[in-house]
Amino acid sequence: MLTVAAILEASMSTLQEGQLLLERIREMGVHADVQNRHATTAACYGIEHLLELLQDRRRHLEELWLQRRIRLEQCLQLLLLDHEVGKVSTSDILVLKLISVLVFILFSLVRIFILFSFSFFGSMIILVFI
């Protein structure tokens, strides 16, 4: 299973490789004839656009991850507080409810990772065909 850190690292690596690709294409365009120069310029615009989309998605994933992590930490604090407050029979029910909330948040995170991975690799496929 991909972790958020792995996805963020992979997207950063892709951004760096994209910048290197842009530099190489621009260098090729300098030495090309007029028709090919136009083609390399158009290719550069397309690659720049895809890199911007990837950067935006990366930033969005980072924000979502931070929000979910804060939410998960808050739930954990509530769980710990409930555990400390009392060991009353009703606390067992509250603990089960909090655990179910934590499980729900965890599954939400997994769904986000899957959706981001699909979007991320979908962009990569487009980039390969350009």
pLDDT > 80? residue 73: yes
CB 104 within 8 A of CB 75: no
DSSP letters along 27-69, please? HHHHTS-HHHHHHHHHHHHHHHHHHHHHHHHHHHHHHHHHHHH
Least confident segment among 17-26, 81-90, 106-115: 81-90
User: Sorting pLDDT into bands at 50, 70 and 90, what band is 19?
Assistant: very high
pLDDT at position 122 over 60 = no
Please report, rounded to a whole number, the percentage of residues in the chain having pLDDT higher than 70: 82
Q: What is the pTM of this model?
A: 0.55
What 3-state DSSP class applies to 88? coil
Rounded mean pLDDT of 93-98?
Answer: 76
- Report whether pLDDT(81) > 70: yes
pLDDT at 86: 63
Residue 109 CA from chain centroid, whole number: 11
Terminal CA-to-CA distance of the chain, rounded, Å?
29
Give the pLDDT confidence of 50-71 residue by residue, as tens digits: 999 989 988 998 898 889 889 9
CA distances from residue 40 to 19, 26, 47, 51 in whole angstroms, order as listed: 14, 7, 10, 16
- Indicate the domain borders of the chain: 4-129
